[in-house]
Amino acid sequence: MKKKFSSALGRGLVLLMVGLSIFSCKEVLEVEPENALEADKFYQNKFDADAAVIGIYGEFMNLAERYVILNELRADLMDVTANADDNLVQLSRHNVRPGNPYADPKPFYKVILLCNDALKNFDIMLAENKMDNLEYSQRYSDIAALRTFLYMQLMLHYSEVPYITEPFVKLADVQNLSRFPRYTIEQMVPELIKVLEKLPWKEEYSSTNSLVAPIDNYASNKFFIPKNLLLADLYLWSGNYNAASRIYKAFIDPGDFSQYKIAFAQVGTSNGNPIQDLAVAYIRFREDDAFSLIDDELDGWRSIFDRPVDRLFNAEWIWYLPFDSRFLPKNPFIDMFSNRGGRYLVKPSQAALNMWDMQVQRNGIQGDARKLFTVRNINGQPVIYKYIYDYNPLTPLNTNGKWWLMRAAQVHLHFAEAANHDDQPRVALALLNNGIRNIFNNGNTDVRLNYDTFLPFPYNFAARSSDAPYNFRDPYHQHEGIRGRGYVTNRVVPANMSAQDLVKTIDNYLVDESGLELAYEGLRWGELVRIAVRRNEPAFLADKIYQKLVTAGDPRADEVRQRLMTRENWFLPFKWE
Amino acid sequence: MHFYPFKLKAFTFVFIFVLTPTVMWAQQTDSAAVEATPAKAPAGVPLTGTITDADNNQSLAGISVSIPGFSAALTDDNGNFTLNVPNYSATVTISGEGQQTRQIALKGRQSIQVSVHDEAFRSVYDMANLPHSQKPLNQTVHSLASLNLADKWQYPYETPDNYLQGRIAGLNVTRRSGTPGIGSILSLRGINSLNTTNQPLVVVDGMIFDMNDYGGSLIGNYFSNPLANIDLKDVDNITFIKDAASMYGSKAANGVLLITTAHPEELTTKIDFAVYGGMNFRPKSLPLLDASEHRTYLSDILKTRGWSDDQIQAQPYMNDDINNPIYYRYHNNKKWQDEVLANSYTSNYYMKVTGGDNIARYGLSLGYLDQDGIIQGTDYKRYNTRFNADYRMSPKLRASSNLGFTYNEHTLKDQGLFAKTNPLYLALIKSPFLAQNEISDQGVVSPNLADADIFNIGNPRALVQNMNARNNNYRFFGSVGFNYDLTRVLKINSLFGITYDKLRENVFVPRLGTSADTLANGVAESRMSSQVQRLFSLYNDTYLSYDKYYGTDHTVAAKLGFRYSNNRTEEDYGIGYNSATDELQTIGTGSTALRQTGGDIGKWTWLNYYTTVDYGYKSKYFINFNLAMDGSSRFGKEAESGVNLFNNSFGLFPSLGAAWLVSSENFMANVNAIEMLKLRASYGLTGNDDIGNYTARQIYVSQNFLGQQGIVRSNIANYALQWETHKKLNVGFDAALLNERVTLSLDVYHNQTNNMLTMEPAGTVAGFDFTLSNNGGMKNQGIELALNSRLLNTLVKWDAGIILSKNRNELTKLPGGPMLNSIAGATIISQVGQPANAFYGFKTNGVYATDEEARTAGLTTRLFNGALANFQGGDVRFINQDENSEINDDDRVVIGNPNPDFTGMISSRWQYKGFALDAAFTFSYGNDVFNYTRAQLESMQGPENQTKLVRNRWVADGQVTNTPRAAWGDPMGNARFSDRWIEDGSYLRLRNLSLTYSLPITQGFLKSSSIYLTGINLVTFSKYLGYDPEFSASNNRLSQGIDTTLEPQYRSVLLGFRLGL
């Protein structure tokens, strides 16, 4: 009996051995990771596609510091403090040496790779009917536009940029990286325009899209890149000014009187509370008193950067991304800007401070009030404040803040630039100065024949506001223009200027205004490069940087100017490894 | 060897799939053959002889003399025997109770006189445990070391890895620190791989013993050492295979350590009981500044901060007015090291019961160990049990079980680079004029501990008393094996086992007495964390074995089988901060906003088909062939150098070894001095599968966007990612002279690592930092010697031995140029043509005596803000290596090599009657050490206390000294990583000294009793300036030789008593 049992067991062992060794091998070596997702398990439905979009924006957030530092510190309005390390000093002085981490383009390419990976798989999902056409086109367009934005950034900072649109799947894909075309600005712009023009969806995500839902109490609709405006900006680069204007105009037209329309200051009250606005203003009837400047979290120009996400916030902001201390990444701006709890690495340049100080307000007070909201004097030091209104050094744990990416003022200034080059200098001046109503006031007492450009789209602005004899509330009746809203006096152009000089003069005004209004919002370097390239005039850019350095008393100012007179030297070294 | 894949592919198919049925078929014919054999009477020629005891030359009765499978006889009372042998060039085997088993080659002799040693004698005829078989050492073809652990009762606290230190030529054992149970970092024959494990494969009782670390520890520089789960007293034999152990395929690249635990051999019930107690002695304090010296130093360093004399005098610690209320707080003379280091105690109890009957034999052991560390507040407790049993279920079916369960409780402190929580480090940098407790204005000492001081340095006593860092872990490691005789020559074996390992850690760092940490979104006052790690693995090893003598000349032993292991690890942790009081120590009591959680899961499977063929001819010529075919869930499906099977790529690992027992040849008959001489050579391939679980696949991981989780690509997959290939060539000889009074082994090897896993920088535009590929190469060459001799063989016996190893490591291929790694401020360079882990830093040449001299030298360095600054008097003279006059990273050169030139051991054993005195010296020669601790204590850049050396610092122009000036923040980088901090780490240590007295057996029930007096680390000779030159701050082979202020090695003395009932 025992023998029988044991020999049965023995046979069993033989069977087991043969069985295990042959049948199960295939399955045995298949192991599914639980803390990661294998490629063939991903991109199965639209929620996977949402996850890809969310992941990409999550990764994109890591570029915030780099975006601001590269675009501002390399330009004229930002300077280093004594706390800054050598790497920042190199950026500010335009003598970047190899190994400078800020000059490394890799973080951009990391996000680009994620975009490429998503785009290719979205295509496959569409082909395999894993997403319908609408779901596909919205997500695809969003990510393709974001990738375009990244390449635009790269093109601004590196002279020749490898243009890669395929996801690297295999090791072999990354072994001959020099096979990709390298584009200069002139080559890159048409390429990017092609991509954007072909996008199947150029609007925001539709309200029914699953991506349009609050994320941790933040409405997500302003997180995604405005595809159309990006295209319009690229048209500005390529010289297709009319096309650019059409997009800008179409963008600001809809909505109420204040939506994206740079509305005037409200003087009335509603239910006993002052009606809030986003304009520089003084307490009524005390306009001559510098101390009555409205400096409020919820009212006035300062509130653009300080107010919660409400109707007025949405009337100005088009694209922003929030930093929340509960989640990574950490808000980099407190460390960068604050001298109370941060490391205070960068500050406004003396040239920038002078620029504001040279403006005159409409009440005659010297100096642009926007300076006081952009730069605060804390403990005797000028501190860039646009990003750190939400930060209180007494509650250092709360590091909430926002990455500012695009707002209505930028659209207006770019629109003005397009109009200026599209033979509409008056429209440009109206957008720049104090609005359609004031610039297009032809004195005609018949309100129906006044306060209107009487131009075809995209320069058709109507700005009437009349109760009698006709009741008009035209869409642009609250339009105040950038300088009007900033409460500074108009830019004037001499009456008998040649058309060519006029365009140039207005362009210069626009660049200056962009500095006054949009300083430190990550646009400066792009504006300088665009104008300098368009005019083929390196001195334009070199002089601005020279001004910054010479005003700061930097002995190397001349040397830097000399270097920047050659276009190649505007750019950072492209680190290949 | 580029031709092998194709040929072996074909060969393997033939072997594995064709041979399987052949073996089955062989089963039937062989059973017939076996039954026919015993009927014949042994033919042959007569052999006569006498057997005596080698110790006293008395003749031995009852000794078995045999030719296995042919004939056997016993000696009579006079030690004489007569045996039929097939011919006079045969080899007879001699064995007897209490005596060694040995082989005698007749070499044409018709009569032999043999004197045999006792069982305990370390002999060339001892059995070595090989995977699935045992073989006398004189017949093995591998380069191996076999230890029978005769002295294991003397070292109750040694973990098996520490025990191996110096005992195996070629195995470099570096104890991680003095922390009890923490074990050693092992590396066989140098560094074999840059990015994968260098840990040898450990096989315990036939089952792979997982040695990996899953997720690390929350406690600074603590490693949970799996080998600490094995009580040395349970171990019977440790064998280390050093050359190509191809049967373990892709796991054998770093050698195979086979541990065999004791199974009962006798049926009588035996009880072994041992008890030990001992004391550990704290090391000597490092020489630091005393209170007044530190005050002088402070006034000097603060001046370089730009403070005026008035500002400095206004500091509370500069006040000398006894009426000032703060006077007493700053006027102490504390020796902080004495508050952290202290002597401590250890104890160990062990009991083992063995016995059984013809059907079942069992051995049950229980142990308890309590070992305190020399850092106060640390200790280690271990509870271990083991149940080993053998069952004879039928004449053909046998089973055995090996079940071990060990529970460890560790109470620890942070060590190493945890500047705010390492109490030993704090004791070094804390100012001696401060007190450990609060002191009132009147000078009354409060029982309350003082908080972090004016320099923001914590109170070491707060950590010693109130930091709570516990690691509790257990491992169940159990297997059941079956062995079924299909025929007398063909057997089937199968072993099933599981490893279940669980580790739990809890850490609490108090708020009072520590300096706060800064977090991303907060300030960490008190810190608490917990983690759980779990390993579950299933193991099976099933094989057919075939053993046969063909005639008297040929022996064949073949095995064909497979191994399978399925593993799953999980790690979960939580970290919290800032509970309301230091009494609340769990994560849940911390601030919700700062809580963090995380974890990981890893899974992999491994499948290994193997065959081993041993062929012996005339007991003189031996050939061993191994072939393994390995599949793993880790390997890429497109791995190129493997065979494709079941849609997976399998690696092939063949090895061939041969040995020639020259001494058994007839022409050696008259060379009586040479008892045994064996030449051997082996060549083969092994692999390393430690390439990451999912690195060969394209995977996506979680990425948050605010609180929402998205998914992003995490790698560029290398579908061809595969095992590393390690080619091992070994040539050596084993010899025994003068009736084994001298034994000698010499090995020369050349190991080449190919397909070495590299992390190549991916181009900028690739989007990822690294890609993984098998593009590297490494080479190790070396020589090993093991020499043992019995110098005296009289009433006093004296054995002495030396083990010596030398290895030269060289990186042969590394794409992407030199690789630099940074740890503790040191830069480690791995570059082709050099050892893989050289220290890379600045060379110095003293200190500029005058400003003038510095100006003449004309060197500059870059300050933090990018400005160039000139060196001045009192700065270090860095050697400028390039054209420009700026001292920057380009001026770095190799300044040290942490790999020793020689390591080894000198051992000695005296025996007189019941007394035995064992002594063992271990040594390491020629290894460089980066003394990070000293670099901190002589950097003179902050308020931290410094060593006495800084009294010689440069203070005035013209002063000639080799110690630079003090400078706040070290703007000139005088303390940067340079040869100033590189020291010679060579040492010679009296590692073990043990006196044993075995009492003459007196009573009937008392079978044996012994007393042990043992000293460990009694004397160390070294020029090293730190506490002790032996340490390992990381499990990474590349970052060895860096002293990051770990718990030092210490001396201990213990007394033990063992009873056998």
pLDDT band at A15 (very low <50, low <70, confident <90, very high): low
Q: What is the DSSP pairing of strand B724-737 with strand B742-761?
A: antiparallel
For residue A548, the SS3 value is helix
Is residue A20 within 8 angstroms of chain B, CB to CB?
A: yes
Tell me the per-residue pLDDT of B558-573, one tens digit each, with 9 for 90 and over. 999 999 999 999 999 9
Within 8 A of A84 by CB-CB distance, chain B residues are 865
What is the reported pTM? 0.88
Stretch A127-153: mean pLDDT: 95
Size of interface A-B (CB pairs under 8 A): 241
Cα-to-chain-centroid distance, residue A515: 15
Instruction: Judge whether B564 and B600 are in contact, CB under 8 Å.
Output: no
Average pLDDT over residues B846-864: 91
C-alpha B354/C-alpha B272 separation (Å) is: 8
Count other Cβ atoms within 10 Å, centred on residue B304.
16
Q: What is the mean pLDDT of residues A520-548?
A: 96
Give residue B33's pLDDT: 37
> Between B397, B562, B762, which is nearest A10 by CB?
B397
Residue A20 clears pLDDT 70, i.e. is over it = no
pLDDT in tens, B208-242: 999 888 878 899 889 889 999 999 999 988 999 99
Looking at chain A from residue 72 to 101, which residues have their Cβ under 8 Å from any Cβ of chain B?
Answer: 82, 84-87, 89-90
Flag if B712 and A52 touch (Cβ within 8 Å).
Answer: yes
CA distances to A225, B419, B461, B990 from B422, rounded to whole Å, are: 49, 6, 11, 29
Whether residue B7 is predicted with pLDDT greater than 80 in this model: the reply is no
Q: With contacts defined as CB-CB under 8 Å, which chain A residues touch B862?
A: 86
d(CA B462, CA B511): 9
Predicted local distance difference test score (pLDDT) of residue B28:
38
Task: Say if residue B239 is exposed, middle or buried (CB neighbours under 10 Å; 0-12, 13-18, 19+).
Answer: buried
pLDDT value at position A18?
Answer: 59
Domain boundaries, chain A: 7-225, 226-319+349-379+405-524
User: Which chain B residue has the Cα nearest residue A55?
Assistant: B710
In tens, the pLDDT along A78-91 reads 999 999 988 999 99
pLDDT above 90 as % of chain B: 56
Bridge partners, residue B1019, by sequence:
B990
What's the pLDDT tens digit per position in A443-488? 898 888 999 999 999 999 999 988 888 888 899 999 999 999 999 9
The set of long-range contacts for A250-255, using a CB threshold of 8 Å and a minimum separation of 24, is A250/A458, A251/A226, A251/A411, A252/A408, A252/A411, A252/A412, A252/A415, A253/A475, A255/A315
Q: How many CA atoms lie within 13 A of B835 on its CB side?
A: 26
CB nearest to B866's CB, from A31, A50, A90: A90
**In this predicted structure, which of A28-37, A133-142, B406-415, B597-606 has the lowest mean pLDDT?**
A28-37
**What percent of chain A shows pLDDT beyond 90?**
73
At residue A19, the pLDDT reads 58
- To the nearest whole percent, how much of chain B has pLDDT over 70? 96
User: Which residues of chain B are within 8 Å of residue A575 when distances are taken between CB atoms?
Assistant: 764
Contacts of B581 (CB under 8 A, 6+ apart): B511
Q: Verify whether the Cβ–Cβ distance B648 to A32 is below 8 Å.
A: no
pLDDT tens readout for residues B664-677? 887 877 777 888 89
Q: A114–B767: do the CB atoms touch at under 8 Å? A: yes
For B543, which residue in chain A has the nearest alpha carbon?
A: A17
Q: At residue B388, what is the residue type?
A: N
Among chain B residues, the shortest Cα distance to A37 is held by: B700
Q: Which residue has the higher pLDDT, B554 or A225?
A: A225
Share above pLDDT 70 across residues of chain A, in percent, rounded to a whole number: 95
The pLDDT of residue B907 is above 50:
yes
CB contact under 8 Å between A330 and B523, yes or no, is no
Task: Considering only residues B445 and B96, tell me which one the structure prediction assigns the higher pLDDT.
Answer: B445
A136, A137, A142, A148: CA torsion to nearest 10:
120
A-chain residues near B492 (CB < 8 A) = 10, 13-14, 17
Residue of A nearest to B399 (CA): A6
| A57 contacts in chain B (CB < 8 Å) | 705, 710
Q: How far is A6 from chain B (nearest CA, A)?
A: 6
**Which residue of chain A has the CA closest to B644?**
A26
Contact at CB, A31 and B698, closer than 8 angstroms: no
Cα of B983 vs its chain's centroid, Å: 23
- A8/B contact by beta carbon, under 8 A: no
pLDDT tens digits along B113-157: 888 877 777 777 878 888 888 888 888 888 888 888 888 888 888
Of B562, B594, B816, the CB nearest to A21: B562
* Range of lowest pLDDT (A2-6, A193-197, B77-81): A2-6
Q: Give the contacts of A64 (CB within 8 A, at least 6 positions apart).
A: A321, A323, A329, A332, A333, A403
Mean pLDDT of chain B: 87
Which of A135-139, B516-520, B858-862 is least confident?
B516-520
**Range B587-592 average pLDDT:** 88
Question: A166 CB near a chain B CB, below 8 Å?
Answer: no
pLDDT the model gives residue A5 = 56
* pLDDT number for residue B17: 39
Which residues from A are below 8 Å from B762, CB to CB?
Answer: 174
Q: Is residue B464 over pLDDT 90?
A: yes
**CB-hemisphere CA count at 13 Å for B909?**
19
Q: What is the pLDDT of residues B628-661, one digit of tens each?
A: 999 999 998 888 888 888 788 889 999 999 999 8
Task: For residue A223, give the DSSP letter.
Answer: T
pLDDT of residue A537: 95
Tens-place pLDDT, residues B887-902: 998 999 999 999 999 9
pLDDT tops 50 at residue B34: no
Q: Is the pLDDT of residue A204 over 80?
A: yes
Pairwise pLDDT comparison (A28 vs A54), residue with the higher score: A54
- What is the residue-averaged pLDDT of chain A? 91
Give the ipTM of the model, two decimals please. Answer: 0.92
Nearest CB to B699; choose among A31, A33, A51: A33
> pLDDT, tens digit, for every residue of B352-389?
999 888 888 999 999 999 999 999 999 999 999 999 99
Q: In chain B, which residues have their Cβ closer than 8 Å to the Cβ of A105?
A: 764-765
Taking CB atoms and an 8 Å limit, are B700 and A42 in contact across chains?
Answer: yes
Quick one: how far is CA B316 from the chain centroid?
50
- Which helix (H) or strand (E) is B258 found in, with range? strand B256-261
Cβ(A444)–Cβ(A464) under 8 Å? no
Helix (H, G, I), strand (E, B) or coil at A58: helix
Cβ within 8 Å, pair A218-B706? yes
Residues 277-316 of A with CB under 8 A from B: none
User: pLDDT at residue B39 above 70?
Assistant: no
List the 215-234 stretch of A: residues with Cβ below 8 A of B.
215-216, 218
Shortest Cα distance, chain B CAs vs residue A371, angstroms? 28
DSSP 8-state secondary structure symbol assigned to residue B444 = P
Q: How far is B92 from chain A (nearest CA, A)?
A: 34
Is the pLDDT confidence value at B351 over 90? Answer: yes
* Spatial CB neighbours of A228, under 8 Å, sequence gap ≥ 6: A202, A203, A247, A250, A251
pLDDT of residue A24: 54
Name the residue among B331, B520, B356 with its Cα closest to residue B435. B331
* Residue of chain A whose Cα is closest to the Cα of B569: A34
Average pLDDT over residues B310-320: 90
Interface check A18 vs B, CB under 8 A? yes
Lowest-pLDDT range of B22-26, B580-584, B811-815, B1033-1037: B22-26
323-362 in chain A: CB under 8 A from chain B: 324-328, 330
Instruction: Answer for the pair B226, B606: CB distance below 8 angstroms, yes or no.
Output: no
Which tens digit of pLDDT belongs to each residue from B732-791?
999 988 878 888 999 999 999 999 999 888 888 988 888 899 999 999 999 999 999 988
Which residues in chain A touch residue B710, judged by CB atoms under 8 angstroms apart?
50-58
Query: Nearest by CB to A13, which of B482, B701, B768?
Result: B482
Buried b (16+ CB within 10 A) or exposed e, B334-362: bebbebbbbebebbbebbbbbbbeeeebb
Beta-carbon count within 10 A of B1001 CB: 11
**A25 pLDDT above the threshold of 60:** no
CB contact under 8 A, A396 and B600: no
Q: What is the pLDDT of residues A284-311, one digit of tens each?
A: 888 888 889 999 999 999 999 999 998 9
A25, B600: Cβ pair inside 8 Å?
Answer: no
Q: Distance (Å, rounded) from C-alpha A465 to C-alpha A452?
A: 11
Average pLDDT over residues A199-217: 85
pLDDT at A370 over 90: yes
CB contact under 8 A, A397 and B522: yes
- Give me the residue from B484, B544, B816 closest to A6, CB to CB: B484
- What is the CATH class of A7-225? mainly alpha
- Where does the pLDDT of residue A32 fall: very low under 50, low under 70, confident under 90, or very high at 90 and above? confident
Is there a contact between B987 and B885 (Cβ–Cβ < 8 Å)?
no
Answer with the residue of higher pLDDT: B485 or B18: B485
Which residues in B lie closer than 8 A to residue A38 (C-beta atoms)?
694, 697-700
Chain A: residue whose CA lies nearest to B630: A29
d(CA B695, CA B716): 9
Picking from A6, A15, A20, A47 by the largest number of B CB atoms within 10 A of its own CB, the best residue to mutate is A6
Chain A: residue whose CA lies nearest to B393: A6
pLDDT tens digit sequence for B405-438: 999 999 999 999 999 999 999 999 999 999 999 9
Chain B residues within an 8 Å CB radius of A97: none
Strands A273-274 and B1008-1022, sheet pairing: unpaired
Name the more confident of B793 and A312.
Answer: A312
Across the interface, whether the CB atoms of A326 and B20 are under 8 A apart is answered no
Q: Do the Cβ atoms of B647 and A26 come within 8 Å?
A: yes
Beta-carbon contacts of A492 under 8 Å, excluding residues fewer than 6 positions away, are none
What's the order of all strands across the beta sheet hosting B886-887?
B868-870, B860-862, B886-887
Contact present, B470 and B528 (Cβ < 8 Å): no
Nearest CA to CA, how far is B172 from chain A (Å)? 34
* Distance between A65 CA and the closest CA of chain B, angstroms: 16
pLDDT at A7 over 70: no
User: Quick one: pLDDT at residue B19?
Assistant: 38
pLDDT of residue A439: 92
Question: What pLDDT does residue B38 have?
Answer: 42
Which chain B residues are within 8 Å of A170, Cβ to Cβ?
A: 716-719
What's residue B707's pLDDT? 85
pLDDT bucket at B1002, cuts 50 / 70 / 90: low
| pLDDT of the residue at B4 | 41
- Cβ neighbours of B769 in A, within 8 Å: 106
Chain A CA closest to residue B715: A169
Q: Is the pLDDT of residue B16 over 70?
A: no
